[in-house]
Chains A and B, each alone.
Chain A
């Protein structure tokens, strides 16, 4: 069994300041982890993914995430927020050992960017 907990339902930051979106996971096996972003009326877009290679993963639009096995965390960060980053962000785990049940999503974090 696997699960994902996104610790904040809403995060508000000022433009130009750092972004931190927190995610903790549990998985019976070595997981693959992802962050997706959802803009209004758009499909989900893959930001970045961790698949047992380097623990620091760089994604699109300046985002990155660090896989910390000891803390079972995969927090998403960005050094400087931009207005266009305002969206819903989903942390996702995929159990590579099996299961045809696709991906397990967190409940999402709504990122608000203050001008």
Chain B
């Protein structure tokens, strides 16, 4: 059973470009979470999605960031017009049941570098 997959593992973008990060949850998991890890920081929750629905986006910056989890295909975290401060590691996690499940499985992360 493959774990949570994220791609790309490393992404370099120039300021002003768009970044698209993909997350494929574990088989049988319909809940996806995105976290951001800034240097010297713990992971910070960004958004929680179920298939075709955003359940909680309280951790998402109000502008330039969006997320989706379509009926088919991976979850996408999209960052428009990237700035240097967006440079971070972005982790995706998935779970079989809801957010109070103890079993969130994490992917290896995507390291975004904005030049």
Contact = CB atoms under 8 A, between A and B. Distances in A.
Given A90-B42, A96-B100, A101 B56 contact: yes
B108 A103 contact: no
Task: Give chain A's interface residue range (CB within 8 Å of chain B).
Answer: 20 to 34
Contacts of A106: 42
A103 to B, nearest CB: 7
Contact of A102 (B40, B104, B108): B104
Interface in B36-95: 40-45, 48, 55-56, 58-59, 91, 93
A6 B105 CA distance: 22
Given A101-B59, A102-B45, 7 more contacts: A9-B40, A43-B4, A43-B105, A43-B109, A44-B43, A100-B48, A103-B104
Given A41-B108, A43-B107, A101-B59, A4 B42 contact: yes
Given A42-B108, A107-B41, A32 B102 contact: yes
Given A4-B42, A44-B91, A107-B42, A102 B99 contact: yes
13 contacts: A32-B102, A34-B102, A41-B9, A43-B107, A44-B106, A90-B43, A94-B100, A99-B99, A100-B98, A102-B104, A103-B43, A104-B45, A105-B44
Interface string A16-32: 00000000000000001
Interface of A: 4, 6, 9, 32, 34, 36, 41-46, 49, 51, 90, 94, 96, 98-108
B42 A43 contact: no
A34 B106 CA distance: 14
B16 interface: no
A108 B59 CA distance: 19
Interface centre among B33, B40, B102 (most CB of A within 10 A): B102
A4 B40 CA distance: 15
Given A90-B43, A107-B42, A43 B58 contact: no
Given A90-B43, A107-B41, A101 B104 contact: no
Contacts of B8: none
B55 A100 contact: yes
A64 to B, nearest CB: 17
